Amino acid sequence: LNESTQRQFLNREFKMALCLCGLLSTAGFIRAAAFRTPLPETVAITASLALIVFSSIGLGAVLPLVLQKLRVDPAHSSTTIQVIMDILGVVMTVFVSTLMLDSPVGQYIISKLT
């Protein structure tokens, strides 16, 4: 990967993030619905899953490039991404669940879906 191919790489990773985000969110929604999870919780879980998948793919694409620019071995990014996404995944899930279940905005969105 060099300067001239980085944009193409990031564009491809962005498209992959959208595809995987849609696919895994759909699977998560179906699973939550199959277990008869109430709709507000199902929407919160699905939104959290979409955000986590998209951000992990984005971070996984960008972090090695950033480390390379800093003249640090990009191989270190794999363990760094795991730790960051473990923490961010919990934070994002709590944030999205709070937004969707306890705020007027979330209640408005849920009311439009039911």
What does the pLDDT read at residue 110? Answer: 86
User: Which residue is associated with the tokens 């996984």?
Assistant: 60
By the 8 A CB rule, do 17 and 57 touch? yes
By the 8 A CB rule, do 32 and 46 touch? yes
Within 8 A by CB and 6+ apart from 43, the residues are 100, 109, 110, 113
41-95 pLDDT tens trace: 999 999 999 999 999 999 999 999 999 999 999 888 888 999 999 999 999 999 9
- Range 86-112 average pLDDT: 93
What's the rounded Cα separation, in Å, for the pair 46 and 114?
16
pLDDT band, residue 37 (cuts 50/70/90): very high
> 46-55, 91-100, 103-112: which range is least confident on average?
103-112
- Concatenating the DSSP letter of every residue in 46-83 gives HHHHHHHHHHHHHHHHHHHHHHHHTTS-GGGHHHHHHH
